[in-house]
Chain A
Amino acid sequence: MAGGSDVAEAASQSCVQCGKPAHLQCPKCMELKLPREGAAFCTQDCFKASWSSHKSVHLKAKLSTLGAGALGEQNSDLVNEGWLYCLKKGQARTPKLPHFDWTGTLRPYPISSRRAVPANIDQPDWAVDGIPKIELNSDLQHVVEIKSPDQIERMRETCRIAREVLDAAARVIRPGITTDEIDKVVHDATIAAGGYPSPLNYHFFPKSCCTSVNEVICHGIPDARKLEDGDIVNIDVTVYYKGVHGDLNETYFVGNVDEESQRLVQCTYESLEKAISVVKPGMRFREVGEVINRHASMSGLSVVKSYCGHGIGKLFHCAPDILHYGRNKAVGVMKAGQTFTIEPMINAGVWRDRMWPDGWTAVTADGKRSAQFEHTLLVTETGVEVLTARLPSSPSVFPWLNNAS
């Protein structure tokens, strides 16, 4: 099927009833904008034959919009309390759900007001006015820094704190908790460790971490939506401590998750693992994309191309760009002392992404799910050190890790 991004995609659908090539669609599903696979049929006869079981798809969709109706009421309560929808990358708010041709069933919810950071905590320049001026003008956008032993030691420390903060967030994941509550855990844990949550006010991002649910690829904004049984959610944490940043993310299961999602998440985890295994001095940066693309394609999944890994250190984002797709023209080879992230985003459906009206949330163009994993890495003389690696204390949330860390 989707064997890599350079193969013709979106070939004909298969009939839901018998599996033959299908060119007919259920009109009700089209009206409700439901996914094509569940609505494809080869003949009217197959459609009729499957009708009694197929129509439950419509019912389910209606229930969730009704639920949204009830939630619409809840949301308007929140709006009255000052929770608003995010717009313009965080520079504006609105009391009404923005208009958009949503690609899946997820919707934005209102967000809470900005969380405070104690004055004694060392803050990056964007904490004040939203613009990372130093980063934008830095030479480190063009040259890859070789870290000094002192910088490396500080990065180890900061990355460990970031790992502990992420683990704290992972522990509270359950159906019914809102992504806003998760953000509060991240925010409080970061502050308690003496760090600043890097995402907060970075280019006006309104929260302290990114929470990306289901079809959200990355940069989801924590809001009033409760996680539901069956969701997958990525939490992306970056901590600024002792003048350096540590960045990592993981995708978690909420309650009981379907097999397809489990496979998606596990494959994404593995593609990061494989990419990390080739990191060593002399390896071309370009190669990371080849490794990830190969593994994702083998599983029939696609690789997001609009976002990439990045150099990190005293700057949140700097050179090099780490592309996750194959056949890229990335310049340069890895050298000992470099620190950067690898953070593949893998999709169940097409690779293309769209942007929500808030200016941050990236979603899959077809509304299918997306998963991501990220580590901050240090290139050593002989290979790589995973600075944000799991600790013995990290919660056992990945079935394929067999409860080992």
Chain B
Amino acid sequence: MEDEEEEAPLAVEVDEPIELSSQNQLSSSPPKDGDVSVGVTVITGYLGAGKSTLVNHILNSQHGKRIAVILNEFGEEIGVERAMINEGDGGALVEEWVELANGCVCCTVKHSLVQALEQLVQMKERLDHILLETTGLANPAPLASVLWLDDQLESAVKLDSIITVVDAKNLRFQLNEHRSSSSFAEAYLQIAFADVIILNKVDLVSPEGSGGVLEELEEEIHSINALANIIRTVHCQVDLSKILDCQAYDATHITRLEALLEESHTLSTQNLHDSGVRTLCISELRQVDLDKVRLWLEEILWDKKYGMDVYRCKGVLSVQNSNQLHTLQAVKEIYEIVPARDWKKEEKPMNKIVFIGHNLNENILLDALRACAAC
């Protein structure tokens, strides 16, 4: 048995680590260990549109970032997944087989895919971004709902954006494909849910810049989803800064929503296709009662009132008894309203909400929003 010392030894100085609340996460500051979560980009699109080309372009560009690519047949059991890690500047591509453990679903909050991605982040010394290339997926919504985690979970990963790669040469054909059937061509869903659309193979469409064709295509895409950012590419050569760190699901990152406030013309689009998938924008100047807004949104998103099927929803709200601009975001049934920041002096507080979906009725939505105005 050791003798305990009679004299106290020298006490040791310790630095207390302070856990930042999720609200303090600044996207622009350089990533420090443990502070910032790794963005996950979902890449979807038809076979042959150029998903793999995009992925390779991202991995091969000289950008100094360590990026992992997960090839995922979503819907099947996640067992051994192939993960490719880019070694960074000028380095060779390292292809590693990474076993992403099969998590048990029993009463765990995070889906096994999320747990697998978190494990990947933990395993690698430094990971700047994750690309999730979906091979068989028509509808990205289930993936988005799995990856769009509550801020409270302070997860090591977070959904950054959904990118759809579209084949400019074949798009029109793909959109018209299901004109007669009751279900939509996959193309509509992939476009509707996208935050960024890579309009690829533009060289095959207008080889001599024969005007108008690309503009028409973009108009068609925007008629479905007026919020998405469309980037024209050849061989998916795209500036990475436009597609990484989009923070499309960050409630407090509202640069793109601010543009919404400034839109002088309406974002609402006409029904260009039989699909009935379009974008609709409504606005209201008076402040709204937040409780009423929630009930109204839940009627539409959860109860599918009036038969409207909302795929995406984004907006800013001017809320009664608050000087904070509130942001609204929804993917299918999942929605959140969060106070983002104070209204700026030069801004005119107002409510502006964009719906992307099917069977949308502008009058009903506008009346309902007006009914939410604070009395």
Residues of A at under 8 Å CB distance from B?
5-13, 23-28, 30, 41, 44, 47-48, 51, 54-55, 58-59, 62, 89, 136, 141, 202-203, 305-310, 316-317, 321, 323, 325-329, 331-333, 343
| Minimum CB distance partner of B106 in chain A | A317
A329 B335 Cβ-Cβ under 8 A: yes
Not counting A30-B12, A308-B109, a sample of 18 additional A-B residue pairs whose C-beta atoms are within 8 angstroms of each other reads: A5-B152, A7-B21, A8-B20, A10-B17, A13-B16, A23-B15, A24-B13, A25-B13, A26-B9, A27-B9, A27-B12, A48-B7, A307-B107, A307-B109, A329-B150, A329-B334, A329-B335, A332-B333
A23 B10 Cβ-Cβ under 8 A: no
Cα A7 to Cα B107 in complex, Å, equals 26
A-B CB pair tally, cutoff 8 Å: 107
A128 to chain B, nearest CB (A): 17
Q: From known contacts A8-B20, A325-B152, infer whether A41 and B11 are also in contact, taking CB-CB under 8 Å.
A: yes
Chain B hits for A28, CB < 8 A:
9
B11 A27 Cβ-Cβ under 8 A: yes
Cα A201 to Cα B336 in complex, Å, equals 38
Is the C-beta of B105 less than 8 angstroms from some C-beta in chain A?
A: yes
Chain A hits for B4, CB < 8 A:
55, 58-59
A8 B19 Cβ-Cβ under 8 A: yes
Cα A141 to Cα B112 in complex, Å, equals 14
A329 B336 Cβ-Cβ under 8 A: yes
B8 A51 Cβ-Cβ under 8 A: yes
Q: From known contacts A10-B19, A309-B107, A317-B105, infer whether A327 and B152 are also in contact, taking CB-CB under 8 Å.
A: yes
What are 16 A-to-B residue pairs whose CB atoms are below 8 Å? A23-B14, A23-B15, A25-B12, A26-B11, A28-B9, A44-B8, A89-B104, A305-B152, A306-B108, A306-B153, A308-B108, A317-B107, A321-B109, A323-B109, A328-B152, A329-B334
Contacting residue for B106 out of A25, A316, A332, CB 8 A: A316
Q: From known contacts A23-B13, A27-B9, infer whether A10 and B104 are also in contact, taking CB-CB under 8 Å.
A: no
Cα A26 to Cα B335 in complex, Å, equals 48
Cα A331 to Cα B150 in complex, Å, equals 12
| Minimum CB distance partner of B23 in chain A | A6
Q: From known contacts A11-B16, A203-B104, infer whether A47 and B8 are also in contact, taking CB-CB under 8 Å.
A: yes
Is the C-beta of B92 less than 8 angstroms from some C-beta in chain A?
A: no
Please count how many residues in chain B sit with their CB below 8 Å of the partner chain's CB atoms. 38
Contacting residue for A332 out of B12, B20, B302, CB 8 A: B302
* Contacts of B1-55 to chain A: CB distance below 8 A: 2, 4-5, 7-23
Chain B hits for A25, CB < 8 A:
11-14
Q: From known contacts A41-B11, A332-B302, infer whether A310 and B16 are also in contact, taking CB-CB under 8 Å.
A: no
B152 A310 Cβ-Cβ under 8 A: no
Chain B hits for A12, CB < 8 A:
16
Is the C-beta of B151 less than 8 angstroms from some C-beta in chain A?
A: yes
Is the C-beta of B65 less than 8 angstroms from some C-beta in chain A?
A: no
Is the C-beta of B110 less than 8 angstroms from some C-beta in chain A?
A: yes
A202 to chain B, nearest CB (A): 7
| Minimum CB distance partner of A47 in chain B | B11
Cα A327 to Cα B151 in complex, Å, equals 8
Chain A hits for B148, CB < 8 A:
329
Cα A328 to Cα B108 in complex, Å, equals 14
Closest 10 A-B residue pairs measured CB to CB? A51-B8, A24-B11, A47-B11, A331-B333, A203-B104, A9-B19, A48-B8, A317-B106, A25-B14, A328-B150
Contacting residue for B110 out of A30, A51, A306, A333, CB 8 A: A306
Q: From known contacts A25-B11, A327-B151, A331-B333, infer whether A10 and B107 are also in contact, taking CB-CB under 8 Å.
A: no
Chain A hits for B105, CB < 8 A:
136, 141, 317
Cα A333 to Cα B19 in complex, Å, equals 33
Cα A48 to Cα B152 in complex, Å, equals 41
B152 to chain A, nearest CB (A): 5
Chain A hits for B152, CB < 8 A:
5-6, 305, 325-328
A358 to chain B, nearest CB (A): 12
B105 to chain A, nearest CB (A): 7
A333 B302 Cβ-Cβ under 8 A: yes
A310 B107 Cβ-Cβ under 8 A: yes
B101 to chain A, nearest CB (A): 9
Cα A349 to Cα B10 in complex, Å, equals 28
A351 to chain B, nearest CB (A): 9
Cα A214 to Cα B301 in complex, Å, equals 42
| Minimum CB distance partner of B153 in chain A | A305
B294 to chain A, nearest CB (A): 9
Cα A89 to Cα B18 in complex, Å, equals 33
Cα A28 to Cα B15 in complex, Å, equals 17
Chain B hits for A89, CB < 8 A:
104
Cα A329 to Cα B150 in complex, Å, equals 7
B289-307 vs A, CB cutoff 8 Å, 1 = contact: the mask equals 0000000001000100000
Q: From known contacts A306-B109, A308-B107, A308-B109, infer whether A10 and B11 are also in contact, taking CB-CB under 8 Å.
A: no
Chain A hits for B106, CB < 8 A:
202-203, 310, 316-317
Cα A62 to Cα B10 in complex, Å, equals 20
Chain A hits for B22, CB < 8 A:
6
A8 B21 Cβ-Cβ under 8 A: yes
B10 A27 Cβ-Cβ under 8 A: yes
Cα A343 to Cα B106 in complex, Å, equals 13
Chain B hits for A23, CB < 8 A:
13-16
Cα A93 to Cα B63 in complex, Å, equals 46
Chain B hits for A55, CB < 8 A:
4-5
B332-353 vs A, CB cutoff 8 Å, 1 = contact: the mask equals 0111100000000000000000
Cα A44 to Cα B7 in complex, Å, equals 12
A8 B336 Cβ-Cβ under 8 A: no
Chain A hits for B104, CB < 8 A:
89, 203
A327 B21 Cβ-Cβ under 8 A: no
| Minimum CB distance partner of A316 in chain B | B106
Q: From known contacts A305-B109, A308-B109, infer whether A331 and B14 are also in contact, taking CB-CB under 8 Å.
A: no
A44 B150 Cβ-Cβ under 8 A: no
A289 to chain B, nearest CB (A): 9
Cα A325 to Cα B109 in complex, Å, equals 11
B12 A24 Cβ-Cβ under 8 A: yes
A306 to chain B, nearest CB (A): 6
Contacting residue for A24 out of B2, B14, B109, B302, CB 8 A: B14
B44 to chain A, nearest CB (A): 21
| Minimum CB distance partner of B335 in chain A | A329
Chain B hits for A54, CB < 8 A:
8
Q: From known contacts A25-B14, A44-B11, A58-B4, infer whether A331 and B107 are also in contact, taking CB-CB under 8 Å.
A: no
